[in-house]
């Protein structure tokens, strides 16, 4: 027989731990980050590997979605060329709020080894980035860690996105 310590009659029939709306929303948001299936270059292969059987991204609640309308996380995996930059920004704009961006790999962070006429020297010139992920190419474990860092960040944020001072390129 289960021993109930809560007396429903005396506690007004509310044996529920109450929490703030912020925490509840952030709990939901952080545990169901749906990244956009958006591969640019080599890092995309490691991104696929983290979605594959060994690293099993689904454990973190991340399920790759092929449409920006359904996703709230953009993993910019690989070299962003100047020709492609326009589309990256457009995809970012198509994602509904709240949305986050992980810049995966050296090329996305700073241009990396490709300091040429054709590549964007860091995707933060195009979209605001939350997590920078070093490596060329980063291992799937690194990407998992980045997602966990992002989850931590989300849990600290206010659920009201307007309160979060997020770097927005339109204001710069």
Partner 1 sequence: MQVTNKLTPFFENLNFERDDNTMVINFGPQHPSAHGQLRLVLELDGELVTKAYPDIGYLHRGIEKMAENMTYNEFLPTTDRLDYIASTSNNYAYALAVEKLIGLEVPRRAQVIRTMLLELNRIISHLFFLATHALDVGAMSVFLYAFREREFAMDLMEDYCGARLTHSAVRIGGVPLDLPKGWLENLTIYLDKLPQNIKMYEDLLTENRIWKMRLEDVGTLSPEDAMSWGCSGVMLRGSGIPYDIRKEEPYELYGELDFDIPISQSCDSLGRYKLYMEEMRQSKRILEQLIEMYPQTEQKLMAHAPQYISAPKEEIMTQNYALMQHFVLVTQGMRPPKGEVYVPTESPKGELGFYIKSEGEPYAYRLKCRAPSFYHTGLLQEILVGTYIADVVTIIGSTNIVFGEVDR
C-beta closer to partner 1: residue 16 or 66: 66
Greatest Cα pair distance in the chain: 73
C-beta closer to partner 1: residue 54 or 162: 54
By the criterion CB under 8 A, which residues form the site for partner 1? 37-42, 44-46, 48-49, 52-54, 66, 78-79, 81, 83-84, 87-88, 91, 113-114, 116-119, 136-137, 139
SS3 26: helix
Residue 47: CB minimum distance to partner 1, A = 11
114 CB-contact burial (10 Å; exposed 0-12 / middle 13-18 / buried 19+): middle
Residue 101 contacts residue 77 (beta carbons within 8 Å)? no
Residue 116: CB minimum distance to partner 1, A = 4
Residue 21: CB minimum distance to partner 1, A = 35
Residue 60: CB minimum distance to partner 1, A = 17
C-beta closer to partner 1: residue 48 or 149: 48
Residue 112: CB minimum distance to partner 1, A = 9
Q: What span, in angstroms and rounded, lies between the C-alpha atoms of 109 and 122?
A: 5
Exposure class string for 59-93: b at 16+ Cβ within 10 A, else e: ebebebbeebeebbbbbbbbbbbeebbeebbebbe
Helix axis angle for 21-30 and 140-156, nearest 10°, is 170
C-beta closer to partner 1: residue 40 or 159: 40
Residue 112 contacts residue 79 (beta carbons within 8 Å)? yes
C-beta closer to partner 1: residue 42 or 149: 42
């Amino acid at each position: 027989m289960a021993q109930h310590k809560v007396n429903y009659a005396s506690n007004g029939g509310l044996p529920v731990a109450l929490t703030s709306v912020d925490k509840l929303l952030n709990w939901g948001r952080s545990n169901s980050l749906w990244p956009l299936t958006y591969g640019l270059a080599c890092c995309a292969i490691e991104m696929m590997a983290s979605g594959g059987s060994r690293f099993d991204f689904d454990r973190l609640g991340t399920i790759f979605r092929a449409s920006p309308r359904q996703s709230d996380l953009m993993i910019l995996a690989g070299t962003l060329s100047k020709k492609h930059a326009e589309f990256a920004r457009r995809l970012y704009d198509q994602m509904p709020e709240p949305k986050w961006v992980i810049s995966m790999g050296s090329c996305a962070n700073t241009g990396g080894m490709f300091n040429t006429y054709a590549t964007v020297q860091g995707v933060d010139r195009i979209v605001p980035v939350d997590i920078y992920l070093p490596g060329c190419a980063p291992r799937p474990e690194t990407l998992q860690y980045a997602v966990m860092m992002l989850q931590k960040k989300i849990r600290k944020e206010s659920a009201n996105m307007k309160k979060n001072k997020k770097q927005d390129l339109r204001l710069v």
